[in-house]
Chains A and B, each alone.
Chain A
């Protein structure tokens, strides 16, 4: 696994505020890496430093092994898709997509061919002569993608590319971007604050919080083993309890089971919410350390549960995740 990009101790300060705090990051070549984290955690700032739009306050950025920390964006040969798409309003779709090739002095016949080929890839060849304003949001997004890909960039950088699309289109485009990545074998860095998007799309996911990287790994590595309480909460672990020896534990609502009696934790039903296929049950549970904690369990709705009744909650060992103290 070679590194397409490498960040070493990269920091970005705005005045006294540290937006990105000494991060070290290796972006594997030919894979899709997501930067995931809540609003304001420094994802866009990191991406902009990789693209060359802002220089880090300190640290080194290597692209393809070459120190590019101070290289201006036009010399980096990267493709960037902005959250606003930033399509040139006075140019047609084809001219937008061909702009980077024109700057590279690709002869016009070849340019036209490559533009059409790229538009085919994103399924927009029939709209080549339209102006961007006359396209839907989803189509504009594809043009922005095509424009970035057409130059065959060393890295494709996507800043929340799906956040302006409606829910259904967003889910479709996840697969679409994966397909394009697989066909072009580009190294992609995708910024998102949507954990489902990151889990579904990533080869490698990088979770950020307050300017730092808190966990990195494949979705298969990260999802079952959140590194700390922040990552756990971000990935939808709602239940936090404490083991007999004081170790903090977490478990997902869908992994808790409820029994009328037997071995487990004593609990009292507080509330039962009907959610179609299943029930969301709030319980006051006495955890192994003896403290009473409010947990939520997602169970099949054939369970006869009423608020106030006493039950037993089972937290299977293989789903319990221990967190650092």
Chain B
């Protein structure tokens, strides 16, 4: 190791992140009825309970709806805007790009509060629509970044080659550019869905009686009762997240999705 301090910090970072997860996963498999480590024996009964607990299931469906619709909107807005910016058909390339990446930097609580004041109080929108706006804004950077990175890597001569062979600009885009961007857009979609599904700050601020996401529901639950069912539910969410992240990593790679902030 050339840089022992960096390496040590990395190890400490991993330990701090992973150890609590191990505790949660381990306690989810307990056969006892308290959230305790080490767990008392092994059973799947808390998974059974979690999957049968109506508020969790309902909230999971709500979260999924929100994640899917917000991601679709973010891609529908982010991909064309990035294309237009990169093709130089929009003025102020860096300004537009900065605007679309800004949700990464502005604290979510600030975004949440602003949306609460402007949309829910000001425009009297229901909390699903407000959450949708918030999550879409939060997911935009993924769409912009991935599309931008894929475009930067694509040879501009490809579209020209298609034109030369007889394709109209639109056809060249659909036959050549879009297929090249597709894996990037696909994994950006997956990751933004995961991010939306697991989001707490925005969802917490903008929750309502009629629409609640899973993380917020779980948070509420923990405040009242402290049993291993929450650990089981968390473990299920974790497993799903890991599977999706692996698929995303396999299709494009995180370096491309998270890299390129400075480009």
Shortest Cβ distance from A153 into B: residue: B164
CB within 8 A of A82: which of B160, B167, B176? B160
A77→B166 contact, CB < 8 A: yes
A151→B157 contact, CB < 8 A: no
Cα distance, A79 to B160, chains bound together (Å): 11
A73 at the interface (CB under 8 A from B): yes
Interface residues of A in 82-125 (CB under 8 A from B): 82-84, 86-90, 99-100, 103-104
Return chain A residues, CB-CB under 8 Å to B113.
Answer: none
B163 to chain A minimum Cβ distance, whole angstroms, is: 4
B166→A100 contact, CB < 8 A: yes
Whether A73 contacts B164 in the complex (CB less than 8 A), given A88-B176, A89-B180, A103-B171, comes out as: yes
A100→B160 contact, CB < 8 A: no
A53 at the interface (CB under 8 A from B): yes
Whether A86 contacts B158 in the complex (CB less than 8 A), given A104-B166, A151-B165, comes out as: yes
Return chain B residues, CB-CB under 8 Å to A147.
Answer: 161, 165
A190 at the interface (CB under 8 A from B): no
Cα distance, A80 to B168, chains bound together (Å): 16
Chain B interface helix/strand/loop/mixed = helix
B176 to chain A minimum Cβ distance, whole angstroms, is: 6
B163→A103 contact, CB < 8 A: no
A258 at the interface (CB under 8 A from B): no
Interface residues on A, range: 20 to 34
Cα distance, A201 to B168, chains bound together (Å): 34
Cα distance, A99 to B155, chains bound together (Å): 18
A90→B179 contact, CB < 8 A: yes
A106 to chain B minimum Cβ distance, whole angstroms, is: 11
Chain B contacts to A: CB under 8 angstroms: 155, 157-158, 160-168, 171, 175-176, 179-180
Chain A contacts to B: CB under 8 angstroms: 51-53, 72-74, 76-80, 82-84, 86-90, 99-100, 103-104, 147-148, 151
- New contact pairs (11) apart from A52-B164, A147-B161, CB-CB < 8 Å: A53-B164, A72-B163, A73-B160, A74-B163, A79-B164, A84-B155, A86-B158, A86-B160, A86-B161, A88-B162, A90-B180
